[in-house]
Amino acid sequence: MLLATPAATLLRTALPTAKIDWLVGPWSSEIARLAGGPGDALTLNFPGFTRQPKRSAVEPYATLVREAARLRARRYDAALILRPDHWWGTMLAAAAGMPRRFGFSIPECQPFLTDTLPPPTGHAVRANQELADLAARRLGGSVEAGRGTLAPRFLVAEADAAWAANHPLVANGSSAPLIAIHPGTGASLKGWLPDRWAEVTQALTAEHGARVVLTGGPGEQTLIDQITARLDPPPMTLVGATTIGQLAALFARCHLVVGGDSGPLHLAAAVGTPTVRLYGPIDVREFGPWPPDGGHIALAAGLACQPCRDLVAPPCGARKAPPCMRALDADTVLTAATRLLAARHLPPAAMTARFEQR
């Protein structure tokens, strides 16, 4: 969702009188509300994306009929289906009677689209914006020539900035580097091993004198407990204890954020903080850091089977911590972290320059 937000920025610039809404999973609604710009953030438990088993074979189609009726009543003129292979989403837009439907010419999507681009081969951020440019031009908008690809940006609200400034991790005035480790990924097949996270945490503290905080969502307490149980003394943790805005504000105060392939790592980049990220089944070329030269390091083992892109039943048969993740060792992550820490140029006292009021 965060990687898609620049596409809406382009559409609003090219079509200033248009009303642009989002239709997202409930898990993305807060990012849509905070970073998606004006317009409504509608939610839908998209079949195939809830990571829950289907109750019946007809359930996805019953959902489509109900949702199409809801969207038809809103009388949309156009839809952009940003996920290239989302045939269900293209079918939904057609069933809802939207006259123009923009997407990518994947065979299973093509019959339901009116305007297409070839399947993307690069990063999702660039593909999203190329589709937005196509829609803007064909809907009568003005597209700036020679404009580069925009990077996702998350503007930290004043209240969240104040929360971060007053947090004990920040308010103690220490000059030691502040590092957030966010080990959760939202999918077990993108996860790394708890003992390796513990090893990285311990080394960052011992070798760099870093103040380390482990962050996570409400469902990641068990993982964080498994990591802290291996550490003495355990670091500070913030699990399920922040809003997205507060997490962004904390990341903006950090010298570095280390974690897996996840939305929070994109959030860290969107507030201007360097990141080290671990990639397994997912393609770095499509969902790696953006901009790719913006002070981030994406680590992947480079196994022959990568990227399989399968988070449910990969060819290796793993159900968690697959071989592509196990092949990444703690020393590799520490080397990347050390490189970015050595390159940092903003002392903690100057971090407030990163905050902007929404």
pLDDT of residue 317: 95
Q: d(Cα 325, Cα 310) in Å, to the nearest integer?
A: 14
Per-residue tens of pLDDT for the chain, all 358 residues: 999 999 999 999 999 999 999 999 999 999 999 999 999 999 999 998 866 666 788 889 999 999 999 999 999 999 999 999 999 999 999 999 999 999 999 999 999 999 999 999 999 999 999 999 999 999 999 888 778 899 999 999 999 999 999 999 998 888 899 999 999 998 999 999 999 999 999 999 999 999 999 999 989 999 999 999 999 999 999 999 999 999 999 999 999 999 999 999 999 999 999 999 999 999 999 999 998 877 999 999 999 999 999 998 999 999 999 999 999 999 999 999 999 999 874 443 333 333 332 2
Structure tokens at 68: 């199409």
DSSP assignment letter at 113 = -
The proportion of the chain whose per-residue pLDDT surpasses 70, expressed as a percent, equals 94
Q: For the domain 2-138, what is the CATH code?
A: 3.40.50.2000
Helix (H, G, I), strand (E, B) or coil at 328: coil
* pLDDT tens, position by position, 45-63: 999 886 666 678 888 999 9
Q: Structure pTM? A: 0.91
CA-to-CA separations, 132 to 6, 126, 267, 283, in angstroms, rounded = 9, 10, 22, 22
Q: What is the pLDDT of residue 54?
A: 67
Question: CA angle at residue 129 from 124 to 134, to 5 degrees?
Answer: 125
**Domain parsing of the chain, residue ranges:** 2-138, 158-354
Runs of H (alpha helix) within the chain: 5-14, 29-35, 59-74, 87-95, 124-138, 158-165, 168-171, 194-208, 221-228, 244-253, 263-270, 284-287, 323-326, 330-343
The residue type found at 58 is V
- Amino acid 52: pLDDT: 67
Instruction: Quick: pLDDT tens for 264-275.
Output: 999 999 999 999
pLDDT at 347: 40
Whether 2-138 shares its CATH topology with 158-354 is answered yes
What CATH number does domain 158-354 carry, 3.40.50.2000, 3.40.50.10490, 1.25.40.10, 3.30.70.920? 3.40.50.2000
Contact 347, 175 (CB under 8 A): yes
Would you state the pLDDT for residue 215? Answer: 98
- Type and span of the H or E element at 103: strand 100-104
pLDDT at 351: 33
* Residue 177 vs residues 8, 207, 276, 341, 347: alpha-carbon distances, Å: 35, 11, 15, 8, 8
The pLDDT tens digits of the residues spanning 134-146 come to: 999 999 998 887 7
User: How far does CA 193 lie from the centroid of its chain?
Assistant: 21
